[in-house]
Structures are given as C-alpha cells and as structure tokens.
Amino acid sequence: MKQKWELWIEKRNLLEKDFKNYLKRETIRERATEIEVEGHLHKAKRNLRFSRGVLDDLKDFYEWSIVGYYYAVYQAALALCALKGYKTKSHIATISILIKFFYPQHISEEDLKTIAKTIMAEEDIREFVELKNYREDATYSISIDYEHGLAEKLGEKAIEFVNKVERIIRKR
C-alpha cells in the first residue's frame, strides 16, 4: 500500500484537496517570515553539527545522532515551507508543501538533470520520509544496537538534503 505522500506525487488533485484541508484546520498556516526561513536553516545546520559531534565524541549513542540528523532535515524542510510563506504543525503537512511547491509535475529526465540543484526530486522526499522512520525507531524502540555505519549513512543524506535546501534558498 502506498503512503499518502506517494499518492500526492501521482494525484495532484488529492494533494490540492489535502493541502486545503490542512489550511482549513490550521495544520498549515500562512505568513511565515524571512526570519523563519533563516532561523530554520540555522537550526538545521546546528543539528548537523550536534549529530556529527555525537558520532565523533559520544560513542555508542548512535540513536541520538540519527534523531539529530532527522531534525536537521526537518528544520531544512521547514525553511522551504517558510520560503513559500507557510508554517506547519505536522510532518506530513510539511511533506505536502515540499511536493506542492518543489516537486515539478511535468519535466523530462533531461530537465531534471538541468535543474537538479534547485528542485526537490522524488528521491529527496523518499529520503526525508526514510529518515523520519529511522528517527521514530531510534526514539521509541528499546534496541540500542545502532551501527556507526547506519548513522554515517543517514548523516550523509541529511547533509545532502540541508545543502540542497540552502542552494534553493540562496538562489531565489
């Protein structure tokens, strides 16, 4: 069964309907400011530094590194939401904004390569959701068997995502 965000990519009318409902219920609110764009981006970078520090200095606390990397990605996503004038109160609402404003509808593979540095591709959205799932597992599971390699891999994805968001913000 497909997740909601996967359906939004396929069915833009469903995305539009859900987006309007999020606005109506105030899960998404308007009037984000430039200060919020920069604040979320700054916080994303702080979370990257924190997570790297956990990996380097606090051996065997990899789950906290994973949690920090997730929040780096989430803060970067909130920066993109604010860039479009929106604030969100939910992770799925945040993903709806990413798809609505940063996932192009009708472009070719060649077009995607040309503008890859300034758009949100489906792979980026998948990585955001994947990292969210790891964060939930790290937060709520009782297992402490997190490998250093997994935290490193997730860190690389988080760094790529935050860097892409910064390029989008700076290019406008």
Domains in the chain, CATH or no CATH each: 4-167 (1.20.120.330)
Which pLDDT score, from 0 to 100, does residue 114 have? 42
| CA end-to-end span of the chain | 37
Instruction: Please state, in angstroms and rounded to a whole number, the distance separating the CA atoms of residues 116 and 172.
Output: 15
pLDDT beneath 50: ranges in the chain: 105-118
Which pLDDT score, from 0 to 100, does residue 146 have? 58
**How many C-beta atoms surround the C-beta of residue 32 within 10 A?**
19
Backbone angles phi, psi at 88, to 5 degrees: -130, 160
Helices 148-171 and 62-83, packing angle to 10 deg = 10
* Nearest alpha carbon to residue 140 among 75, 44, 67, 55: 67
Which pLDDT score, from 0 to 100, does residue 151 have? 85
Contact between 81 and 94 under an 8 Å Cβ cutoff? The reply is: yes
Residue type, 129: V
Which pLDDT score, from 0 to 100, does residue 115 have? 40
Which pLDDT score, from 0 to 100, does residue 162 have? 93
Which pLDDT score, from 0 to 100, does residue 107 have? 32
Query: Under 8 Å CB-to-CB from 63, ≥6 apart: which residues?
Result: 138, 139, 144, 146
Query: Under 8 Å CB-to-CB from 37, ≥6 apart: which residues?
Result: 79, 82, 83, 169
Instruction: Please state, in angstroms and rounded to a whole number, the distance separating the CA atoms of residues 64 and 32.
Output: 29
- What is the residue whose two structure tokens read 């790891």? 134
Which pLDDT score, from 0 to 100, does residue 112 have? 35
Which pLDDT score, from 0 to 100, does residue 144 have? 59
Residue type, 140: Y
Q: What is the pTM of this model?
A: 0.84
Which pLDDT score, from 0 to 100, does residue 137 have? 75
Contact between 158 and 51 under an 8 Å Cβ cutoff? The reply is: yes
